[in-house]
Amino acid sequence: MPYIYMNIMLAFVISLVGTLMYRSHLMSSLLCLEGMMLSLFTLNALLSLNMNFTLSTTVPLILLVFAACEAAVGLALLVMISNTYGLDYVQNLNLLQC
């Protein structure tokens, strides 16, 4: 297993763990989500280029388009939360109390 692929997959796992364990800001989780998309893009591009799958070099481009849409929706939600509560602290999202 080439070492570079291992490093990039490790980067994906690190941002996945960072997405799931949030601290005070919601924005940090969105940034870790963007990190997951970046590592997926890098891995896809490297695999398509190194194994000479020429047609699958479209896959990173499509992935980037979908990541942009997802970031837009996430940022819109964060803007609404920030407008309602003043900051994007996760502890403010306590309307549903079990």
Partner 1 sequence: MMYVVFIMSVLYVVGFIGFSSKPSPVYGGMSLVVSGGLGCGIVMSSGGSFLGLVVFLVYLGGMMVVFGYTIAMATEEYPETWGSNVVVLSAFLVGLLMEVFMVMWLFSGEHELVGFYFSSLEGLMVLGEGGFEYVREDYSGGASLYSYGFWFLAMAGWMLFVSIFIAIEVTRKRY
Per the CB < 8 A criterion, the answer to whether 89 and 27 are in contact is: no
Per CB under 8 A, does 92 bind partner 1? no
Find the binding residues for partner 1 in span 48-87 (CB under 8 A).
Answer: 48-50, 52, 54-58, 60-62, 64-69, 71-73, 75-80, 82, 87
Alpha carbon distance 4, 41 (integer Å): 14
> Is residue 91 within the footprint of partner 1 (CB under 8 A)?
no
Pick 76 or 93: Cβ nearer partner 1: 76
CB of 91 to partner 1, least distance (A): 13
Phi-psi domain of 52 (left: phi exceeds 0; alpha: psi -120 through 50; beta: other): left
In one letter, which amino acid is 76? A
33 touching partner 1, by CB under 8 A: no
